[in-house]
Chains A and B, each alone.
Chain A
Amino acid sequence: MGSVKFRTYHEVAGTDVSDLAGQVGRQRQHVAKRLESIGRVVAVMSGKGGVGKSYVTAGLALAASARGRSVGVLDADLAGPTVARMLQAAGPLTLDQAGVHPAIGTNGVRVFSTDMLLGDGAPLRWKGEHNEPFVWRGALDAGALREFLSDVVWGPLDLLLVDLPPGTDRLQDLAELVPNLAGVIAVTLPSQESERAVARAMQAAVDAGLRLLGVVENMSGYLCPGCATTSPLFRGDAGQTLALSFGVPLLEQVPFTPSIRPSGRPAVLTAVLP
């Protein structure tokens, strides 16, 4: 046969029946189509775990729904889902040809979360994890987020809140999947440690071309249910510092309380609602 002379992919005439790029493009179109009925998509993020993103998300959802807005919450924290329980939303989920219908939580908030897909106490695990999972696990996580956006029958919503996991990976996935993302709210604790981690995440959001809507400082003191006085829990003023650094408003300072309360400050709702 002699030496083989290769041609390029595009030099070979004929269609590519696999058309993988086309399949990916149609997936993106599916997401865009589903989100057409949603007024605004807002992400709630932090660079640090344990700051109360889900708590803040739930409070925002309750506050917006209490004002008559239709609200959905997508729990993008696949491995550590918590917001569904906070909003008292549970499965089983209804499935039909239109897609998967979200669970209905407190105040009629529509919720979708891996919490409804995983067994009680079971960690997130993808099948076939013996096959070098480090290669493809990230792709599966991103694919799951894509399906949660495209295949959940959200219906008409004024606001869809996306509760992101710690870190910035899912934020960048979200930015690619939802080009018209209305913006991002950053959640921090008052501490300097939190400030440093959240600053990195906020910078990642800026680098991704996303709009920072503002900062919410959570656990900003302890509100005593007995005497109604607030005492500091952490040293620092990360909320104010981050807001000044990035030129965005400090939307709310939320004291620690044992129960979830709707967000109380109009500034937060003004930032997220259409």
Chain B
Amino acid sequence: MKFLCIECDQQMQFEDRSLPGDGTFGAAFKCPGCGRSIAMLANPMETQLVESLGVKIGGRTLDQQPLELVRSSLAGRDDAFSERPDGRTAGRPVDWSPEATERLARVPGFVRGMVKRIYVDYAREHEIACITPDMMDRARSELGLEGM
């Protein structure tokens, strides 16, 4: 899929994507010539169709996660998987504040486990007993995890 700026006759560049709600998928593109931006909005059915193929509009920024499609799309049991985080998060338990838990819940399901491990590892490395939104912001900034 390519977007062409007719005025400049240049291909517009992918800028950002978002899920603003109700199943709508949004992707922003910008013309490198005139700077004009457009937003492509896919309706919920179109969004679901693309997601069903296991592909990402705008390309992938994260490697495909194991059973990503199934885990994000199947209305299945919550305890189907026990995560074995390669030993990195083995150690003392770390608590999550309600606000941090709520924020984590907004992370798409197929990367939530990985994002959770990153925050837990960060907390352990910094001897933080409870993960809060402030700590998540610090970790995002220090680790370059914008969008997580």
Interface residues of A (CB under 8 A from B): 1, 4, 7, 9, 12-14, 16-20, 23-24, 26-27, 30, 91-100, 114, 116-119, 122, 124-128, 131-132, 135-137, 139-140, 143-144, 146-148, 151
Contact = CB atoms under 8 A, between A and B. Distances in A.
Given A94-B84, A131-B23, A16 B75 contact: no
Interface residues of B, number: 44
Contacts of A93: 80-82
29 contacts: A14-B2, A17-B58, A17-B59, A23-B60, A30-B64, A92-B81, A92-B82, A93-B80, A94-B83, A95-B66, A95-B83, A95-B84, A99-B67, A117-B76, A126-B73, A127-B73, A127-B75, A128-B73, A131-B48, A132-B48, A136-B48, A136-B49, A139-B53, A143-B53, A143-B69, A143-B70, A144-B70, A144-B74, A148-B70
Interface of B: 1-2, 4, 6-7, 11, 13-14, 23, 44-45, 47-49, 52-60, 64, 66-70, 72-77, 79-86, 113
B52 A95 contact: no
B67 A12 contact: no
A233 B72 CA distance: 45
Q: Which of the listed residues B60, B64, B75, B84 has the most CB atoms from chain A within 10 Å of its own CB? A: B75
User: Which 7 residue pairs of A and B lie closest in terms of their CB atoms, listed nearest first?
Assistant: A139-B52, A14-B11, A136-B52, A117-B76, A23-B55, A95-B81, A125-B75
Contacts of A131: 23, 44-45, 47-48
A13 B56 contact: no
State the main secondary structure of chain B at its contact with A. Answer: loop
A92 B76 CA distance: 12
B19 to A, nearest CB: 12
A189 B26 CA distance: 52
B99 to A, nearest CB: 25
B130 to A, nearest CB: 25
Contact of B84 (A96, A117, A127): A96
A117 B14 contact: no
A1 B82 CA distance: 59
